[in-house]
Amino acid sequence: MSNLLAVEAKLEAESKAFQAIQKELSKVIETRQRLESQQQENELVNKEFEHLDNESNIYKLIGPVLVKQERTEAVTNVKNRLNLISSEIKRVEAQLADLTKKSEAKKQEIAKLQMEYQQLAAAAKK
């Protein structure tokens, strides 16, 4: 009977750990989606720069104010932002892969514990 309780306690602890991993996985997926959205937005701005001539005025929104910006500075800022976002996406992808691996391992551990619990419960009834 004590084995049954020990397995039950371990099963509960593993289930809680699995839920925590799932919650973190969800946050990381949200972060990746936000980064991809920012990346698309910045790529769109970068493409728009190609359609402008050298005499075009470029403005940057800072709070509620539009501030004139030099073309080279604007292009450089967008390219730097794209590089930063790309590296951040790579970091998040690695984190996502790691969490997915941990999640699968926890799932297998939980399934193993459930089988063990069922076997011990069946043996206890005999």
Q: Please, which residues have CB within 8 angstroms of residue 15's CB and are 6 or more apart in sequence?
A: 110
**Alpha-helix runs per DSSP H in 1-126:** 2-51, 71-125
Q: Quick: pLDDT tens for 92-119.
A: 999 999 999 999 999 999 999 999 999 9
Q: Are 67 and 60 in contact, with CB atoms under 8 Å apart?
A: yes
Q: Any idea where the domains of the chain sit in the sequence? A: 1-125
The SS3 of residue 66 is strand
Say which CATH architecture domain 1-125 belongs to.
Orthogonal Bundle (1.10)
1 has a pLDDT exceeding 70: no
> How far is Cα 22 from Cα 102, in angstroms, rounded to an integer?
10
37 has a pLDDT exceeding 90: yes
